[in-house]
Amino acid sequence: MSDLETTERVLPSNAPGEDVAFEILGDGDFPTAEMSLSIGPAHPATHGVFRIVLDLDGERVRGARPVIGYMHRGFEKLAEYRDYRQIAALTNRHDWLSGFCNELGVAIAVESMLELEVPDRAQWIRMLMAEWNRILNHLMFIGSYALELGAITPMFYAFREREDIQHLMESATGGRLHFTYNQPGGVKIDLPKGFLKRSAEISKVTRERFDDYVDLVLGNEIFQGRTVGVGPLPQDVALSLGITGPTLHATGIAEDSRVTEPYLKYGDIDVEVPLGENGDAFDRFYVLLHRIRASLDIIDQIHDHMPAGPVNSKLPKMVKAPEGAIYVRTENPLGQLGYWLESDGGRTPWRFKMRTPSFSNVQAIPYLMQGALLPDAISILGSVFFVVGDIDR
């Protein structure tokens, strides 16, 4: 609320010599009213069925309460009724923009429990696909985040690249979104002829076009105005909330499971983790964008390493994980995905807990929005990068 007791005289600097002065009543604030604004569950800025209730004082956000669960499909329960090989079809649906990376976790978990040996070629193929999937995911968010801030063009550029990459992945897996290409022991089928050549071509083209995005979005003055200094996240809060992925890297913490706990063959290659400094919306987007370049670097290294050989190993007719629990963490495009797989020795898991990155990351929204302006709220909401299915599971 404005304090009307004080007054202030302001001389406009652009009219020198003229005797014009403005008198501002109060402390410069408008008298405001408090209100509660519900955004969603079906709102374009929330990309999915996600609702957020903002407590506003004028244009100032005093509190934000995300309401989730509109898309809860009970994957954890469904997994308890399915064979270990069938879970992959469930997991590539919770975060529909990174289906391949999701399947990876469950395949690794089952393999570790069964002590299955995965052929080298399968591991490299998995990495290649995971990185392409990561780029697919990030391109989507580059397009949609710019769209939320009023720029429609990057979306078209992003989808041009996405189409190429989806064609590439489709040629090997048969899927554009839900790949179901992993199976315990390797991948379903070998790469088709000419895949690596095409992959190298697309990698080259995407790298050339990468500068377009930097110029189009990062260099844009309006984009900078909407994001720089908006919604800063301190490191300790981020860690305490369990935030991972680009949102964590933007705060300057290089915690990436591909580096700190290498799975597959990530230990054999150089993985660059782009970092931000301030943890604000601009840094989050900067990190997301530069992760594309980092992934392209990884893809080029994979092309050099790809060995020949079998792509899967023979599974027993009945997959029964021995009694015990395993926790597998993989670096998903949006953050770290953790699967806790507890087996009682039966055909189906006893407990299959999905620790999804979006669920943890969205928890930061109330903190980030506290005290922000309403137009910045959209900028913050988009910059946390979440998929609603990944929150609700």
Partner 1 sequence: MSDVLARRDRALSPEETEELLRDRLGDGLQRTVLEYGVFTVWVEQDAWVQAATLCRDEPLLAYDMFDNLFGIDAREEGFDVVAVLYSTSTGNRIALRTRCAGGRDEPTCPSITDIYRGADWMERETWDMFGVDFPGHPQIGPRILTVENFEGWPLRKDFHLASRAAKPWPGVKEPAELDEDGNVIERVPHIGDAPGPYDLDKAMAEQAQAMNPRPELDGPEDDDDADDEPAEVEAGPDDDPTVSGAEKAEARRKAQAEARAKKAAERAGGDGDEGAAQLDQDVYDQLIAEGKSERIARSKAKAAYIKAQRAKEGDA
The CB-of-92 to partner 1 minimum distance in angstroms stands at 18
Sign, Cα dihedral of 279, 282, 296, 119? positive
Residue 256 class from Cβ within 10 Å (0-12 exposed, 13-18 middle, 19+ buried)? Answer: buried
Which part of the chain contacts partner 1 (CB under 8 A), choosing from 14-22, 289-297, 304-312, 320-328? 320-328
> Rounded distance, CA 276 to CA 249, Å?
6
| Strands 186-187, 351-355: pairing kind | unpaired
CA torsion 226→236→329→46, rounded to 10°? Answer: -30
Contact flag: residue 393 with partner 1 (CB under 8 A): yes
Binding of partner 1 by 236 (CB under 8 A): yes
Q: Of 28 and 324, which CB lies nearer to partner 1 in the complex structure?
A: 324
In angstroms, give the least distance from the CB of 184 to partner 1: 13
Q: Is 327 in the site for partner 1 (CB under 8 A)?
A: yes
Residue 317 binding partner 1, by CB under 8 A: yes
Contact 271, 294 (CB under 8 A): yes
β-bridge partners, 56? 35, 61
Amino acid type, 17 = G
Determine, following the binding rule CB under 8 A, whether residue 346 of this chain makes contact with partner 1. Answer: no
From the CB of 93, what's the least distance to partner 1, in Å? 16
- Distance (Å, whole) CA 57 – CA 55: 7
Dist CA 235 CA 304 (whole Å): 37
- 30 touches partner 1 by CB under 8 A: no
159 interacts with partner 1 by CB under 8 A: no
What is the per-residue binding string for partner 1 in 58-97, x denoting contact by CB under 8 A? ----------xx--x-x-xxx-xx-x-xx-----------
347 in contact with partner 1 (CB under 8 A): yes
Nearer to partner 1, 154 or 357 (CB): 357
Binding of partner 1 by 360 (CB under 8 A)? yes
Token digits for 36?
């509660």
Per-residue mark of binding to partner 1, 184-223 (x: CB under 8 A): -----x--x-------------------------------
- In the complex, least distance from residue 192 CB atom to partner 1, rounded to whole angstroms: 8
CA torsion 20-25-26-28 (nearest 10°) is: -50
Strand partners, 187: 182
Dihedral sign (CA 92, 97, 101, 102): negative
Tokens (6 digits) for 74: 């009970």
Residue 2 near partner 1 by CB under 8 A = no
**Which residues, numbered 166-185, are part of the site for partner 1 (CB under 8 A)?**
174
Q: Which residues of this chain interact with partner 1, rule CB under 8 A? A: 68-69, 72, 74, 76-78, 80-81, 83, 85-86, 112-113, 174, 189, 192, 236-237, 239-243, 253-255, 259-261, 273, 317-319, 324-327, 329, 336, 338, 340, 342, 347, 350-351, 353, 355, 359-360, 363, 367, 392-393
